[in-house]
Structure 1
Amino acid sequence: MSDTSAAIPAGVASWRDFVTLMKPRVMSLVVFTAAAGILVAPGSIHPVLAVASILCIALGAGASGALNMGLEAVQDSRMSRTRGRPTATGRIAAADALAFGGAIAMFSVLGLALAANYVAAGLLAFTIFFYAVVYTLWLKPHTDQNIVIGGASGALPPVVAWAAATGAAPLEAWILFAIIFIWTPPHFWALALLAKDDYAAAGYPMMPNVRGDDATRRQIWIYALLTAAVGFAPLAVALGGWVYLAAASVATVLFVVPAWRLRREGSPKNAKSLFAASILYLFLLFGALIAEHGFGLYAPLFGAA
């Protein structure tokens, strides 16, 4: 388990530190993918309840972030990329971060149960548990496959949102999950290539530290190809139309080309390019779904939907 008992100098926290605990950039991605899930789902949900549901899902992600920082305070203090975090500097005690994250987690799950249904609330609770306990305490410190398995927590928001709208999580929702799940390893391994010294200092067995850069770049290439294939799956079940086809085609080229360059030459520049391209890839795919189903641009590929 992560050592949260080691002494970290106490400081004075501001409200901004508590916002930082919730990892707002991750929350923004969760809002984006959850919005796609709730818009693509069949049927209708009242706009107020839809907004409330997405807010609860975002708060659940924030709770996961706070719990993660509380559990990893000591490790974060050893990494240049994370040593400025509130728990790493001691501005917020690890125990306080855990209490804050726990309170938000309960609020988000109960709020989603009230705004939507128990299926969505149960999925959100599982997502928080998986990230805070399974990924943070078990996978991340013990296996170089941590991000492969742990990516499930980041891939669940559109499924949670779909369940919020319909009370169910059918195959179509899990296709959205699969896109993010398969996308996660190449996205984070590109970062891991750049931050492998940091991860070594913290004692995390990330792929580049355990198997080397060459093996990591091979794995990135394989997962990039799998991501490209899965990215077209929404077309097979009529979730995506012509706009999605165009976006997925462009996104695939923009993602696969940097992955191939990194496969051929493992330079920091190529790793940074792939990391940036991976973010753009997800934005284009889920942005196309939002445009089609949220703004009336959906036109099925094979006749009537």
Structure 2
Amino acid sequence: MTDFSANQYEDEASFGDYFSLLKPRVMSLVVFTAMVGLIVAPVSVNPFVAFTAILFIAIGGGASGALNMWWDADIDTVMKRTKTRPIPAGKIPAIEARNLGVALSGISVVMLALATNIVAGAFLAFTIFFYAVVYTMWLKRWTPQNIVIGGASGAFPPMIGWAAATGGIAMESVLMFAVIFMWTPPHFWALCLFMKSDYDEAGVPMLTATHGRRVTRNHIFAYTLLLAPFAIGLGFTSIGGPIYLAVAVVMNALFIKGAWTIWKRKEDTSLDDEYKVERSFFKLSLAYLFLHFGALMVEALLPFGLGGW
């Protein structure tokens, strides 16, 4: 294993290096979906309390990212996509990333519980544990189903936002969880299809490496079909409405069409063309999640009588 002890780090790390430990791109998704969960909840929340809740949920998400980078520093060094991260790039010692992650985890959980309620704080604590321990330390290097089970950690934020507002769980928050949970595998497997060599070299048992591209395509199509009922069904709950439902129907039709295109591809297709198809599906998957949760927020923020059912 690569030595990431502190004595090899000579240059002083910048604020940007430490911020990148928090995986800001992933954090932005956590913040957005948690904010939507809080906004659509059927309880009025003081704006300052809402801001505080989202802030500490974001810090908790960042803490998970730091712990992930600490544990995965050895494989990040091997993968092209991750070798420029602060630890493998020699900017921050792994132990500092670990200490930062632990400290921010404790702060975010305690402060969220104090600012909102115990349920939200406990939910955040479980989410950090699930991502850092269950997914990063156990599932990621053990099973090709790592992203399926581990994807739950990325699906909890809207439930945390909902719990911060209501102090509990409801069918609506569970369905928001289900949409992200079912969306994560096809989203990530599309990335794996055009980043396959990275995971092979790092020894990470992604589905593309353990079962091949054909099986991965089959899984993408199957999960995309299973996702649609959850996404469209959410439109018929108290937080849905005609705007959300229209977005869900159109986006799921496009998503299924994209998954079908990937599924029917033959293995002898030229590599360049294959990258184009799977990159296109990956980009569509990003728009898919943003538009679904954006539509939920629009339904909640429209004047009474114009949004929702």
For structure 2, list consecutive stretches of 5 or more residues without a partner in the other structure. Answer: 267-273
Write the deviation string for residues 47-94 of structure 1: whole angstroms up to 9, x where unpaired: 110111011111111000000001111110010100000011121111
Which residue is equivalent to 1:263?
A: 263
Does the CA contact (< 8 Å) of 1:191 and 1:275 recur in 2?
yes
Residue 295 of structure 2: aligned partner: 288
Q: Match for residue 55 of structure 2?
A: 55
Match of 2:307 among 268, 292, 298: 298
CA distance in 2, matches of 1:105, 1:251: 35
* C-alpha separation in 1, matches of 2:3 and 2:61: 24
Look up the SS of the partner of 2:151 in the other structure: helix
The Cα shift of 1:6 comes to 5.6
* Aligned-partner Cα distance in 2 for 1:195–1:118: 41
User: Counterpart amino acid of 1:178?
Assistant: A
Q: Which range moved further: 88-97 or 265-274?
A: 265-274
Matches within 5 A, 1:152-301: 152-265=152-265, 267-296=274-303, 297-300=306-309
Letter paired with 1:62:
G
Q: How do residues 77-88 of structure 1 correspond to structure 2 at under 5 angstroms? A: 77-88=77-88
SS at match of 2:178: helix
Aligned residues: 298
1:10 aligns with 2:5: no
Question: Bigger shift: 4-13 or 119-128?
Answer: 4-13
TM-score by length of 1: 0.94
Q: Which runs of 4+ in 1 moved over 3 A?
A: 3-9
Q: 1:11 to 1:259 in 2, by over 3 A?
A: farther
What's the CA shift for 1:171?
2.0
Cα RMSD (Å)? 1.4
CA distance in 2, matches of 1:4, 1:94: 11
Q: In the alignment, what sits opposite 2:271?
A: none
Inter-CA distance 18–6: structure 2 relative to 1 (3 Å threshold): closer
Q: Report if the CA contact (8 A) 2:241-2:308 is conserved.
A: yes
**Paired AA for residue 159 in structure 2:** V
Change (3 A) 1:98 1:6: closer
Partner SS state of residue 80, structure 2:
coil
Trace 1:28-39 onto structure 2 (pairs within 5 A).
Answer: 28-39=28-39
The letter of the residue matching 2:106 is M
**C-alpha contact (below 8 Å) 2:172/2:238 kept by paired residues:** no
Unaligned 5+ runs, structure 1: 301-305
Q: What secondary structure, in the 3-state scheme, does the structure 1 residue paired with 2:87 have?
A: helix
Identity of aligned residues (%): 50
Contact (CA 8 Å) 1:11, 1:89: kept in 2 or not? no
TM-score using structure 2 length = 0.93
